[in-house]
Amino acid sequence: MPASVASILLDHYRRTARRLPWRSPPGEPPPDPYRVWLSEIMLQQTTVAAVTPRFERFVERWPTVDALAAASDDDILGEWAGLGYYARARNLIACARLVAARGGFPDDEAGLRALPGVGPYTAAAIAGIAFGRDSAPIDTNVERVVARLHALTEKPEVRAAAQAMVPRGAAGDFAQAMMDLGATICRPRDPLCAACPLEAHCAARALGRPEDFPARKLRAERPRRHGIAYWHRRDGAIFLVRRPGRGLLGGMAALPGPDWELAAPPPASLASVRHVFTHFALDLHLVASDSAPSAEGWWQPLDGIAAAGLPTLYRKAVAAALRAESGAAPDNPPAMLESGLSAP
């Protein structure tokens, strides 16, 4: 492939780069490694649109890695609520404290990969974007662009081709240019080939079948589980607990209840919600209880429910229970929920 491909793409990036709060404009000095790291952790399996406002809230509250490291687990987990994949939040806490203790981020891929929650892609992204290393971060967007440019189907071939394309001294801008191209033009379905600056160099386009690259993965059907959450309510408050530190939703606020291992729903429930995790789908059934809570927890006022830091599953569950109690339609939550439970 001609060496001009990198320069064509970088020129396109200079004219069309997305303005994102964790980036430096094309050609300018690299951004703070803290901002790059934080954004990359947040962006794992989460969209730019969902991450952008949450990132801005995080850096307004904790503008440096030292500030984040000094924050309490509960404050960080509460701020993370709604972003999902909560193991990321626990790794975020551990990583921030380790980086603060060592006086800053490592500046190469090997050192970065030793940090909690930092895998090969994230290490390459931070090394290239924040420290100017000649690294090749390969997320799904970059993989798709490279696979189509070279008409490749095997991951090792894609990785080798991606590394060979990195222009020395411009890895950060090049990586972000590839990410933007994959996100906005070289889309999984209906790619906008006519708008692509690399159309003339794309092997998959020349074959007339860009959507065949990379090879499509077959999705396995997720198993279905059932779980129970107990609904204790008194004097305008509901009873919440803190989930165990490890496992799904570890350390997050939640409604009390046993593990989600039921094969079938309980005989009667106040309401139910469906939530899809990576490896299974959960039907969580809300069971009203008049007895005193047996678990250790606290009474959370409903008018301050947003401050509880509930993850999405339990925000949906609380909203469903309140709808059931009020007799509201499923898509018409009570007015008291609009501010407390509608935010991501």
Active site residues: 40
> Is residue 242 within 8 Å of residue 299, measured between CB atoms?
no
Query: Which structure tokens are listed for 212?
Result: 């065949």
> Is residue 284 within 8 Å of residue 317, measured between CB atoms?
yes
The values of phi and psi at residue 331, to 5°, are -100, 15
CA distances from 90 to 83, 229, 252 (A): 13, 23, 10
**DSSP characters for 139-181?**
-HHHHHHHHHHHT--SHHHHHHHHHHHPPTT-HHHHHHHHHHH
Can you list the alpha helix ranges (DSSP code H) found in the chain?
4-16, 33-43, 48-61, 65-70, 73-80, 87-102, 109-113, 120-131, 140-150, 155-165, 171-184, 203-207, 312-326, 337-340
Distance CA 86, CA 46 (A): 12
> Is residue 229 within 8 Å of residue 285, measured between CB atoms?
yes
HSE, side-chain direction, 13 A CA sphere, residue 98: 16
**DSSP characters for 113-131?**
HTSTT--HHHHHHHHHHHH
Using DSSP's 3-state secondary structure scheme, residue 229 falls into strand
Separation of CA 183 from chain center = 15
Going by C-beta distance under 8 Å and a sequence separation of 6 or more, which residues neighbour residue 201? 1, 2, 5, 8, 149
Q: Cβ atoms within 10 A of the Cβ of 231, count?
A: 24
